[in-house]
């Protein structure tokens, strides 16, 4: 999997969390790891890191493109209308994402003190 915007480590956490049965995955931000960008099985693209002139010019029909974003999709750094139909899967804080990745959690660590 080619990971744009330096997310190579995070992808492994996602695959582990969702108990992906495939163990041969390699995540890299090195575009020259394979001869052509079309040779990667998947491309993970972070929305805030999109530079349109730097996006892959071609795409294999067997390739999955994964949209990664921890902010609102309407974050003003990108015209989100250009993203329509571009991605196969999503990784966001929204529970409706293909891969749910919450932004944070709240855990009770102890009971609250009684105030008088």
Q: How much of the chain exceeds pLDDT 70, in percent?
A: 78
Residue 96 has pLDDT above 90, yes or no: yes
> Is 83 part of any domain?
yes
Average pLDDT over the chain, rounded to an integer? 78
> Is 30 part of any domain?
yes
Q: Which domain holds residue 77?
A: 2-100
For residues 76-92, average pLDDT: 84
> Is 105 part of any domain?
no
For residues 36-40, average pLDDT: 85
User: Into how many domains does the chain fold?
Assistant: 1
**Residues in Cβ contact with 5 at an 8 Å cutoff, skipping those fewer than 6 apart:** 29, 45, 46, 48, 49, 68
Q: Could you give phi then psi for residue 76, rounded to 5 degrees? A: -70, 0
> Is 115 part of any domain?
no
> Is 66 part of any domain?
yes
Residue 18 has pLDDT above 70, yes or no: no
């Amino acid at each position: 999997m080619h990971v744009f915007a330096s997310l190579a480590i995070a992808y492994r956490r996602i695959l582990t969390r969702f108990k992906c049965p495939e163990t041969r995955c390699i995540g890299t931000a090195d575009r020259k790891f394979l001869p052509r960008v079309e040779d990667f099985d998947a491309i993970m693209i972070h929305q805030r890191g999109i530079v349109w002139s730097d996006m892959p010019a071609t795409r294999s029909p067997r390739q999955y493109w994964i949209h990664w974003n921890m902010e609102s999709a309407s974050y003003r750094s990108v015209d989100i209308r250009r993203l329509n139909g571009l991605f196969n899967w999503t990784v966001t804080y929204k529970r409706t994402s293909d891969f749910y990745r919450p932004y944070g959690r709240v855990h009770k660590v102890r009971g609250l003190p009684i105030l008088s």
